[in-house]
């Protein structure tokens, strides 16, 4: 039953931001949640745990840089994702009203697309968004859980060889001494473990929102493309449309131009609310992936598995951003190509002008605009190349 949303029989409309809503609701940060007092307190508790965990991890890693570089990297690698998740948490809280408005407006526009072809687009992209976000969620949960499993296995092996239990947390942190001694140690361990799940919930929710916005806007662009082609279609090139028909087509084309303008405005608004999150991801992605691969080379046994899963999760994150941006650009370019290939030339001069107006606007490809970068699969290739350079440099120095 838990995997029922992977099947084609799952109700399509329930896919709409399903997993981002689940992940962010767990920690009290989903934009459409009613902000009751209890929810505010719960969200503050999660914010405090994540913020203090980032501080404790960073302190541990910086402290051990001059002592043991492998131990330092073991702390600094996950703290990079934790700090990025803290940025996502703050951004979602700061833009919660704008995100709520965007979620509701895009939902209204997509629900209005009800033809058989448009329902096919919705089914395709709704399920794609859910499945890719589920892949990210599962990767994150496996990564966070593997840190706890690794620590428990290490201590079980130590006890089996007659050695003492090491009172450390799953993620390397410098904490007050009483928290790392009985009777508080089990509670500290559970809170630190929950800190890892808060990180997973933050990046699953934020990345899922970004991917969802991109894919749902792609549905709107494909639906607009079909409407333009259907409106400009003529039965025969020799037939001359009547003035009444042409006047109706002009009125409908004006509505379609307005729809395209709104889609462009929605894309710009998505760029505005996601700019800090997206920029942070693209700036740190090479560093995070490179550090995790270096850690994979330094460790053995369970440590390799931990960082293999971690590398997969971080790679999935950046892939979702690039895939979402690529879908929007390709859908916009396809709108321009299909408009040009339509029968616009078989109509009156006024209709032709409206078609050319749509064509000229569609040629200005919509993108999620962030400073220095534009999410696309080409950008992903550049990131992976730079990551390879960082890994080669690190291996030569360590």
- Residues 132-152, mean pLDDT to the nearest whole number: 87
pLDDT in tens, 216-269: 999 999 999 998 888 887 665 556 667 788 888 888 888 888 999 999 999 999
- Most confident option among 104-118, 168-182, 280-294: 104-118
- Residues 107-122, mean pLDDT to the nearest whole number: 90
Which residue, 213, 212, 231, 227, is CA-closest to 260? 227
1's CB contacts (< 8 A; 6+ apart) are none
Residues, the chain, total?
Answer: 398
| pLDDT exceeds cutoff 80 at 369 | no
pLDDT band at 109 (very low <50, low <70, confident <90, very high): very high
Contacts made by residues 31-37, CB under 8 angstroms, sequence distance 24+: 31/92, 31/96, 31/97, 31/99, 31/100, 31/103, 32/100, 32/103, 32/104
Map tokens 């361990």 to a residue: 189
- Most confident option among 43-47, 225-229, 277-281: 43-47
Higher confidence at residue 79 or residue 235? Answer: 79
| pLDDT exceeds cutoff 60 at 398 | no
What pLDDT score was predicted for residue 107? 93
364's CB contacts (< 8 A; 6+ apart) are none
What pLDDT score was predicted for residue 55? 92
pLDDT band at 3 (very low <50, low <70, confident <90, very high): low
What pLDDT score was predicted for residue 142? 87
103 phi and psi angles, rounded to 5 deg: -60, -45
d(C-alpha 311, C-alpha 387), whole Å: 12
Higher confidence at residue 100 or residue 15? Answer: 100
What pLDDT score was predicted for residue 312? 81
Cα separations in angstroms, 33 against 43, 99, 194, 234: 11, 12, 21, 48
pLDDT in tens, 153-176: 878 887 887 787 788 888 888 888
d(C-alpha 299, C-alpha 93), whole Å: 37
- Residues 134-140, mean pLDDT to the nearest whole number: 90
- Residues 70-76, mean pLDDT to the nearest whole number: 76
pLDDT in tens, 333-363: 898 888 888 887 878 888 888 888 888 888 7
Which residue, 92, 52, 59, is CA-closest to 75? 59
Q: What percent of the chain has pLDDT over 70?
A: 89
Q: What is the mean pLDDT of the chain?
A: 84
pLDDT band at 1 (very low <50, low <70, confident <90, very high): very low
In whole angstroms, how large is the CA radius of gyration of the chain? 25
C-beta atoms surrounding 269 within 10 Å: 17
């Amino acid at each position: 039953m838990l995997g029922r949303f992977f099947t084609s029989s799952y109700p399509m409309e329930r896919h709409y931001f399903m997993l981002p809503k689940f992940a962010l609701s767990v920690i009290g940060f989903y934009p459409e949640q009613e902000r009751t007092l209890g929810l505010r307190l719960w969200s503050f508790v999660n914010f405090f745990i994540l913020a203090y965990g980032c501080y404790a991890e960073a302190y541990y890693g910086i402290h051990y840089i001059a002592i043991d570089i492998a131990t330092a990297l073991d702390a600094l690698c996950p703290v990079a994702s934790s700090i990025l998740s803290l940025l996502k948490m703050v951004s979602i809280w700061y833009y919660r009203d704008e995100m709520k408005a965007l979620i509701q407006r895009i939902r209204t526009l997509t629900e209005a697309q009800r033809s058989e072809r448009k329902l096919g687009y919705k089914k395709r992209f709704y399920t794609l968004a859910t499945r890719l976000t589920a892949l990210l969620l599962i990767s994150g949960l496996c990564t966070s859980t593997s840190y706890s499993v690794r620590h428990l296995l290490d201590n079980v092996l130590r006890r089996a060889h007659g050695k003492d239990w090491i009172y450390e947390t799953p993620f390397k942190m410098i904490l007050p001494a009483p928290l790392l001694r009985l009777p508080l140690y089990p509670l500290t361990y559970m809170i630190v473990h929950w800190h890892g799940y808060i990180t997973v919930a933050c990046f699953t929710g934020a990345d899922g929102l970004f991917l969802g916005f991109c894919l749902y806007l792609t549905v709107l662009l494909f639906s607009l493309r079909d409407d333009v082609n259907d409106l400009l279609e003529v039965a025969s090139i020799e037939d001359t449309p009547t003035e009444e028909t042409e006047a109706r087509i002009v009125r409908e084309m004006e509505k379609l131009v307005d729809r395209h303008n709104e889609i462009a405005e929605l894309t710009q608004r998505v760029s505005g609310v996601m700019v800090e999150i997206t920029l942070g991801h693209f700036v740190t992605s090479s560093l995070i992936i490179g550090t995790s691969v270096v850690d994979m080379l330094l460790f053995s046994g369970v440590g390799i598995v931990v960082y293999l899963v971690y590398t997969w999760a971080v790679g999935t994150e950046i892939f979702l951003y690039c895939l979402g941006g690529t879908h929007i650009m390709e859908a916009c370019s396809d709108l321009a190509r299909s408009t040009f290939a339509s029968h616009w030339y078989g109509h009156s001069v006024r209709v032709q002008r409206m078609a050319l107006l749509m064509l000229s606007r569609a040629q200005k490809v919509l993108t999620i605009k962030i400073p220095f970068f534009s999410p696309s699969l080409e950008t992903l290739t550049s990131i992976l190349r730079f990551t390879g350079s960082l890994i080669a440099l690190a291996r030569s120095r360590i």
